[in-house]
Amino acid sequence: MVIEEHISLLEDLLGQWQTEIGPDYTGYKHHVYRMINFCLALHKCQREEREKIIIAGCFHDLGIWASDTFDYLPPSMALARAYLEQNQLEAWAPEIERMIGEHHKLRKYRDERFPLVEVFRRGDLVDFSLGLVTCGLPRSYIRRVKHRFPNAGFHKRLVQLELGWFAGHPLNPAPVFKW
């Protein structure tokens, strides 16, 4: 399995947000690279599918920093839609918005009209679980991807954000998780 080490579209999209993401930039960028590589290993993509995964990957957690919230799915979807509209890709919006909106769904996504949603959910799950959940990928491949794109504090930052959310909303679970 190949590891894509440089994805121009990813570099261009995330590079525009480096200032807003600040010190979390490298950790987030590596997370996006890891999950995109996992998605591409899970699903043999045509060019258009690959581009959709990259765009969704770049925007899927971006609302954390752009809107300064742990309830980041709606702002992340809005940022993706704005990008798609600016680039005459509005037709992709329903699928990419679902990819972002359902990427923390705990159960399998079953809408056959949008098969990339489940691929994206599984790719993010492999990385979110630190590779404990493999979704069928070889552990050796997961280790190679993680070695090439080290965590750089990303998961630690997620724990900090979750604790901050819990402190302000002790009776409400994190809004990003769905059944």
Predicted pLDDT of residue 95: 97
Q: Determine if the pTM surpasses 0.75.
A: yes
Nearest to 131 by CA among 115, 148, 144, 116: 144
Tens of pLDDT along 58-102?
A: 999 999 999 888 778 999 999 999 999 999 999 999 999 999 999
- Across the chain, mean pLDDT equals 91
Q: Residue ranges of the domains in the chain?
A: 8-168
3-state secondary structure of 106: coil
How many other β-carbons are positioned within 10 Å of the β-carbon of residue 55? 22
Q: In Å, how far are 10, 151, 154 from 24, measured between CA atoms? A: 16, 11, 7
Q: How far apart are CA 117 and CA 102, in angstroms?
A: 7
